[in-house]
Structure 1
Amino acid sequence: MFKGILSPVVTILDENGNLDLPGNEMVINRLISQGINGLLFMGSIGEFFALSTAEKQEFISFAVKTVAKRVPVLIGTGGTVQAEVIALTRFAEQAGADGVVVISPYYFKLDPETIYRYYASLAQTTTLPIMLYNYPDRTAVDLGPELVLRLAREFKHIVAIKDTVDNISHTRRLIQAVKAERPDFCVLSGFDEYLIPNLMAGGDGILGGLTNVIPHVFFSLMTAYEAKDLTGVAAAQAKISVLMNLYDVSQPFVAAIKGAVVQMGLPVIPKVKEPAADVTSQQMQRIQQLLIQAEVL
């Protein structure tokens, strides 16, 4: 259901840290026009963790209306309060979203049975397609093949997983275990540079932050792969390899990705939600250097 190049969209803010809806509309239109296959709002790079419930609801309604069915709209509804996760998922469903992406609970290191109950309880309250979100660097818990297969077996509207693990073997094991019984189940890598390894292992694509910066490069990479154009694959992959260094420019990496979007010519400001710090002039210089090195600027 969710295949190809998907973008976890940055959330554009004004100088006061409030939602900049015209700026977000520009981001959305740019991504769609450059070939992105689906948009995730309020993922990690969309700063879901720093948005209030009111902001999330406003943004959901805005995003669904603005995208207007041009591509699938996914909403990040995960959190640590299960009732709030269920309520936000219901809101997204009523607003017309095409699916939700739900990170596993974080803070405590939960056992697989507890995580199963979390997702099962959510699945019983919605008919929306659900994408699991595995990000053990943030949750301290890994969604392994056995747990994912159990959920996929029991709930047909649990349809996908974003596997943000810096180990393609982990993603490959998920692909082999789950697709053996659910061939329709989509497995996406959360690391931009793993698009081709994901596809070659039988997966379905990526949901990665660099798509905000160079959507056209990812489009060309997918096109080259499908055409068996090795030269084209190598050229696009080389650009992505250089730009993976953007993730190390700021902590968290959201500020650097926003800075790179601005460097690519979008007339917005790279404001991030507190307590994270906005990108500095020195960091912006480093971002520009990387974009020039990758030959996209």
Structure 2
Amino acid sequence: MDRHSVDWYGYLPAVTTPFTENGALDLDAWRIQLDWLAGERLPGVIVAGTTGEWFSLSEHERAELFTVAAEQVGDRLTVLGGCNAYTADEAIRHARAAQAAGLDGILLTPPPYVVPTRAEILNFYRTVSDTVKIPLCVYNWPRGTGVDLDTELLLELAELDTVVAVKNSTANFGGFVQGLVALRNRVRYFGIPTNEVGIELLTKVGGEGLMGAGAVLGADHPDFFRAVQAGDLERARTLGARDRVIMENWFGPDYGARFGNAQAIMKYALTLRGVPAGHVRAPLLPLTPEEQSRVRATMTQLDLL
């Protein structure tokens, strides 16, 4: 497999997982949320990613989310399954569940908290790739894993049989661009910012798009990339500026939330739009009234209320 084995392009968000107020998985709300995302013309979604609170999901719940997503929107959207785990055996079980559900691929970080060595990271991904033959996107997430996959290591990972894409969420922008140049002909490369720099990269260097979070702006997110692809750069700049409002108001340079937690921010914002995103699950806490006001102010600024 390589970049030509898949057609992933544009904005593919890691979406929120709806829970009831008492913490139960809300599959009815999940179906409604998926339909809303499809109606907003998202090209794809990532299920059970960081925004989807994978860390508080049971193995059965994650598999349920995969199955329902495939049934609800698998014929309309690319659906990727988040398979983050502390061991290769656990990641393999999630990958097999994604494959059984009929998902289009999986997203996988190095084991979080462990801070593995280069050899351990290679062995982790190789074990998963050799065991489950499903397209795999390597996710570089230094904030969550404690390791930053440099270009040399990403090139080695790109040689694994099932690796078709990289989501590079490093705060080291120089390293991000270096990785794009080195990998653009081997894998699909995500993390392109929705601004003038992103337009320059897409039109002159390469890259596929952005695996973002939440899709609070709905169609505006993917339409930035569609506008660039169509050569309508002024429209792309307008749409990108809207996305930058969210990134600057709610998130820092390392993609961490400026207040509360990212999952609660996204869920509250989607709820304000009428999408049943539900509640966060412990250990996460809901936003305080003051934090909710900050989210509401941004949504008002963007004319989304």
The normalised TM-score by structure 2 is 0.89
Deviates more, 1:223-232 or 1:54-63: 223-232
Contact 2:140 2:167 in 1 (8 A): yes
Counterpart secondary structure, 1:271: coil
**Bigger RCO (CA 8 Å, 6+ sep):** 2
> Which residue of 2 is the match for residue 294 of structure 1?
302
Matches within 5 A, 1:1-297: 1=6, 2-155=8-161, 157-180=162-185, 182=186, 185-189=187-191, 196=199, 198-200=201-203, 201-211=205-215, 213-244=216-247, 245-247=249-251, 248=257, 250-266=259-275, 268=276, 270-297=278-305
User: Structure 1 residues 169, 68: CA separation in 2 closer, same or farther (over 3 Å shift)?
Assistant: same
Rounded Cα–Cα distance in structure 1 between residues aligned with 2:260 and 2:55: 15
CA RMSD of aligned residues (A): 1.9
Q: Could you say if the C-alpha distance between residues 261 and 93 of structure 1 is closer, same or farther in structure 2, counting changes exceeding 3 Å?
A: same
What letter corresponds to residue 68 of structure 1 in structure 2?
A: G
Matches of 1:49 and 1:230, distance apart in 2? 39
Per-residue deviation at 1:269?
Answer: 5.5
Contact 2:10/2:222 (8 A) holds in 1: no
Asked whether the equivalents of residues 192 and 207 of structure 1 are also in contact (C-alpha less than 8 Å), the reply is no
Give how far 1:80 is off.
0.5
Length, aligned pairs only: 291
Q: Does the 8 A contact of 1:10 with 1:46 survive in 2?
A: yes
Kept in 1, the 8 Å contact 2:33–2:277? The answer is: no
DSSP-derived class of the 2:13 partner? strand
Measured at CA, do residues 192 and 251 of structure 1 come closer, stay the same or move farther in structure 2, by a change above 3 Å?
Answer: farther
**Distance in structure 1 (CA, Å) of the matches to 2:126 and 2:10:** 27
Q: Secondary structure at the match of 1:12?
A: coil
User: Unpaired segments of 5 or more residues in structure 2?
Assistant: 1-5, 252-256
Tell me, yes or no, if the aligned pair for 2:184 and 2:207 is still in contact at 8 Å. Answer: no
- Distance (whole Å) between structure 2 residues aligned to residue 256 and residue 93 of structure 1: 31
TM-aligned CA deviation for residue 93 of structure 1: 0.9
State the shift of 1:170 in Å: 2.2
State how far apart, in whole Å, the 2-side matches of 1:52 and 1:59 are: 11
Q: Distance in 1 between matches of 2:124 and 2:79?
A: 23
Cα deviation for residue 229 of structure 1 reads 2.4
Q: What is the TM-score normalised by the length of structure 1? A: 0.91
Q: Select between 221-230 and 40-49 the one with higher mean Cα deviation.
A: 221-230
Q: Offset at 1:109?
A: 2.0
CA contact (8 A) 1:7 1:40 kept: yes
Question: Aligned in 2, Cα 1:250/1:18: closer, same or farther, shift over 3 Å?
Answer: farther
Question: Does structure 2 conserve the Cα–Cα contact (< 8 Å) formed by 1:190 and 1:208?
Answer: no
Q: 1:129-183, CA deviations, whole angstroms, 9 ceiling, x for partnerless residues?
A: 000010011111111211221122242x210011112343322211211234x2x
Aligned amino acid, residue 234 of structure 1: R
Q: Distance in 2 between matches of 1:259 and 1:176?
A: 37
What SS class does the counterpart of residue 8 from structure 1 fall into? coil
Change in CA separation of 1:3 and 1:80 when aligned onto 2, cut-off 3 Å: same
- One-letter identity of the residue aligned with 1:29: D
Report % sequence identity: 29
